[in-house]
């Protein structure tokens, strides 16, 4: 078991979730709201976690696959009605980001759009908000150590609300909670984590410590993702993937890039409700090729690591773990892609891609990934 203090406090290791009551006591939380989803409730995990507490918690289980402002408002109304004084995010990135939204509203007025980074929201967010504990049950987004919540606002845009104050107070990272994750979700969330490591490494900002963390995460993800997909009870692979997700998010404080600039508006297409990690995986080879001329020696370093060009390596891994063949298989149309290409220019990740894309470039990337 390890305690890590980097951006926030992380308790990492099998069985760490049993420290939930201890962690709530440390933060002075007596009546937490657990934000989760109905899928986890159906598995019995939420009941198990609730059973770790001295008194039954209040549970909000209506987190959608891509968290929305409406859902955040609904959860916050329950938080206020029940007199809660802290939030526990339990689940994948959607549940954790929804919990962050509730936490934000514990000290700020709605609507959420005013707090998005692209609207200048960084300066509007303060630290007078309730404590939060993050308990990830997937190994993908790294939201448990990230300073962002990505939420579909009332206007229908999927945007990042970013501030150091958004970091969870404590993250309880217990790989045991991922043992029951189905193969496809293991693959899709795992590629989310791998994409964070790759995009951070390529991002234009100068931050060698972030690059080093990203590369360690990439090593773990590359050696363990396929093993975790094949055998969900492989303890070493599951621990590697949870650390890969953790390190990807620790590192992406440096910035991400074109993959995420595209997947955010793609994830906002309500009629498709696309999975974020799946989109990252599908787009990554084309984005790697687009960035090649701008990243120079980093391309060579990745080629040496993979033993072949990185775009080829990622495409082969996608096929091996069952990622859909392309955006066409996910239901995208040309009209949708044209809209997404324009929206990607407004995303906060657009600015840190090592090569600045125009709308036409984004459209070309999506067509390559179709």
pTM of the model: 0.94
C-beta separation of 86 from 24 below 8 A:
yes
Quick one: pLDDT band at residue 7, thresholds 50, 70, 90? confident
pLDDT at 275: 94
C-beta separation of 20 from 133 below 8 A:
yes
* C-alpha–C-alpha distance, residues 68 and 317, integer Å: 31
pLDDT at 4: 55
* Cβ count near 1 (within 10 Å): 10
* Tokens standing for residue 228: 């975790």
pLDDT at 3: 67
Asked if the model's pLDDT at residue 296 lies above 70, the reply is yes
Asked if the model's pLDDT at residue 157 lies above 90, the reply is yes
Q: Which domains does the chain have, with CATH numbers?
A: 2-177 (3.40.50.1970), 181-368 (1.20.1090.10)
Question: For the chain, first and last CA: distance in Å?
Answer: 43
Residues in the chain: 370
C-beta separation of 35 from 58 below 8 A:
no
C-beta separation of 8 from 169 below 8 A:
yes
Quick one: pLDDT band at residue 2, thresholds 50, 70, 90? low
């Amino acid at each position: 078991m390890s305690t890590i203090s980097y951006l926030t406090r992380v308790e990492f290791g099998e069985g760490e979730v049993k420290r939930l009551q201890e962690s709530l006591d440390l933060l002075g939380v007596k009546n937490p709201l657990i934000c989760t989803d109905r899928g986890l409730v159906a598995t019995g995990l939420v009941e198990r976690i609730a059973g770790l507490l001295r008194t039954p918690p209040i549970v909000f289980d209506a987190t959608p696959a891509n968290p929305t402002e409406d859902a955040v408002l609904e959860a916050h109304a329950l938080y206020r009605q029940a007199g809660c004084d802290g939030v526990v995010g339990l689940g994948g990135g959607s549940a954790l980001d929804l919990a962050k939204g509730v936490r934000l509203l514990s000290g700020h007025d709605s609507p959420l759009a005013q707090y998005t980074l692209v609207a200048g929201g960084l300066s509007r967010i303060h630290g007078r908000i309730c404590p939060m504990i993050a308990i990830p049950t997937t190994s993908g987004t790294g939201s448990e150590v990230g300073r962002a919540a990505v939420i579909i606002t009332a206007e229908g845009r999927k945007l990042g609300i970013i501030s150091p104050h958004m970091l969870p107070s404590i993250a309880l990272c217990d790989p045991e909670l991922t043992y029951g994750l189905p193969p496809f979700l293991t693959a899709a969330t795992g590629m989310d984590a791998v994409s964070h490591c790759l995009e951070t490494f390529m991002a234009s900002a100068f931050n060698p410590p972030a690059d080093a963390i990203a590369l360690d995460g990439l090593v773990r993800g590359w050696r363990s993702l396929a093993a975790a997909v094949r055998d969900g009870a492989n303890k070493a692979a599951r621990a590697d993937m949870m650390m890969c997700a953790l390190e990807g998010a620790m590192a992406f404080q440096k910035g991400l890039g074109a993959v995420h600039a595209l997947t955010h508006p793609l994830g906002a297409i309500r009629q498709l409700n696309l999975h974020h990690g799946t989109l990252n995986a599908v787009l990554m080879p084309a984005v790697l090729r687009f960035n090649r001329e701008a990243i120079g020696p980093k391309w060579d370093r990745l080629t040496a690591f993979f033993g072949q060009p990185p775009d080829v390596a990622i495409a082969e891994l996608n096929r091996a773990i069952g990622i859909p063949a392309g955006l066409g298989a996910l239901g995208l149309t040309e009209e949708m892609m044209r809209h997404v290409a324009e929206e990607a220019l407004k995303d906060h990740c657009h600015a840190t891609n090592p090569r600045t894309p125009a709308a036409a470039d984004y459209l070309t990337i999506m067509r390559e990934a179709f």
